[in-house]
Amino acid sequence: MKRSKSGPARLAQPISWSRFAAIFLSSFAGGITLVYLFIVLVDPYDMLPFSLPFERPILSTAQRFTYPQIVRSRRFDSLIVGSSTARLVDPQQLNAPFGARFANLSMDAMTAWEQMELVQYFLRHVGPPKVLIVALDQRWCDSRADQTLTLHGFPHWMYDDNPWNDYLHLLNGAAATISVRIVGYQLGLARERIRYDGYRVFTPPESQYDLARVRRHLWGGGEPRRPPDVPPPALSTEERNALSFPALAWLESILERVSPTTLTVLADMPTHIAAQAWPGTQAAAGEAECKARMAALARKHHARLIDWRIVSPLTTNDENYWDPLHYRLPIAERLAHELAEAVLAQRPSVDGSYRIVVP
């Protein structure tokens, strides 16, 4: 009696080329179809018109892809946008003092243009926010901000208002991975990566803090320097006119579109002095001009402007930072507290760590 070969042995047997091509094509087409169907049914970014009805927590740290979902959930009536310099501000700390439901939608290396896109997305999908905090940083004063709109591949298709074109962008490894995680979450095998209000601590545990190492990051291996107490050099009218800050047009477009009922706060975040324009330099003069124009915009559109990006006990103390841009967790808690103090009570800083530029 002829014995049939086992499965693995059959897979290694020579076959005709036609059959070989047919197996390849059917495996490829079948595999692609199955993966795609799995992704669109699971709907990893909670954005498709038709998908399986279950909870979709934030299971990816790719913020540009996950934050539209937070906006569309309509669970939040207020938001913070900014770069990683604002990510550590816990929205839950702001909810009670401001009487609002905050999401912190700040992203790593978020450009000014991306912040404008996100605010506009919020306005279209949720309406005017109760409180809008735009966390400013040095990118808003970049003279070439309009030449690099994004540093991380901004998914434009997620920020338009057409859910149908999203089907064209989901056949990829990232979407498949998140889909698997979502199924894992339903089975109790996976945990959310970012809290649903966008908050996530991205700095190392405080127990790992090493001041000597931090100082190397802050000062590039050189000696720590004390900033001189000098005003920025005066600029002539021609010099001032020659300065261009393209991102401020985007800032104005944000301010123009928010409702008069929105409490809008421009908060210049406290980067370490080593990351600020050094006092007394031409760069500091340019920075001062940029800040003056921001203040004018804030006044024109009835927004508040609070500036932490100054020479202060906060920004000159190396122990407050991990690196030139990122402060430590206790500083973030202090910032949230000071935000409420400065905006709601208009209380000046006790130690000069912030200035209320436009009350």
Which residues here bind other proteins, judged by CB under 8 A?
A: 10-21, 23-25, 27-28, 31-32, 35, 153, 169, 171-176
Quick one: 9 or 96, whose CB is closer to other proteins? Answer: 9
Provide the pairing of β-strand 102-104 with 78-81.
Answer: parallel
Q: Which residue has the tokens 């709907």?
A: 43
User: In angstroms, what is the minimal distance from the CB of 45 to other proteins?
Assistant: 14
Quick one: 114 or 268, whose CB is closer to other proteins? Answer: 114
Quick one: 107 or 258, whose CB is closer to other proteins? Answer: 107
Angle 302-351-279 from CA coordinates, rounded to 5°:
80
Contact status, residue 134 vs residue 122, Cβ threshold 8 Å: no
User: In angstroms, what is the minimal distance from the CB of 178 to other proteins?
Assistant: 12
- Alpha-carbon distance of 94 to 77, in angstroms, equals 12
- Alpha-carbon distance of 309 to 306, in angstroms, equals 9
Token pair for 218:
């802050």
Quick one: 156 or 337, whose CB is closer to other proteins? Answer: 156
Cβ neighbours of residue 305 under 8 Å, at least 6 residues apart?
265, 266, 268, 294, 295, 298, 356, 357, 358
Quick one: 49 or 173, whose CB is closer to other proteins? Answer: 173
User: In angstroms, what is the minimal distance from the CB of 348 to other proteins?
Assistant: 44
3-state secondary structure (DSSP) of residue 340: helix
Quick one: 65 or 308, whose CB is closer to other proteins? Answer: 65
Quick one: 143 or 177, whose CB is closer to other proteins? Answer: 177
User: In angstroms, what is the minimal distance from the CB of 47 to other proteins?
Assistant: 16
User: In angstroms, what is the minimal distance from the CB of 183 to other proteins?
Assistant: 17
- CA 82 to chain centroid, in Å, comes to 6
Quick one: 16 or 207, whose CB is closer to other proteins? Answer: 16
- Alpha-carbon distance of 78 to 102, in angstroms, equals 5
- Alpha-carbon distance of 103 to 194, in angstroms, equals 12
DSSP string, 123-144: HHHT-S-SEEEEEE-GGGG-TT
User: In angstroms, what is the minimal distance from the CB of 61 to other proteins?
Assistant: 15
User: In angstroms, what is the minimal distance from the CB of 326 to other proteins?
Assistant: 22
Quick one: 39 or 214, whose CB is closer to other proteins? Answer: 39
- Alpha-carbon distance of 167 to 157, in angstroms, equals 10
User: In angstroms, what is the minimal distance from the CB of 112 to other proteins?
Assistant: 22
Query: Which residue pairs from 236-243 have beta carbons closer than 8 angstroms and sit at least 24 positions apart in sequence?
Result: 239/285, 240/289, 243/143, 243/286, 243/289, 243/290
Question: For the chain, what is the radius of gyration of the CA atoms?
Answer: 25
User: In angstroms, what is the minimal distance from the CB of 144 to other proteins?
Assistant: 17
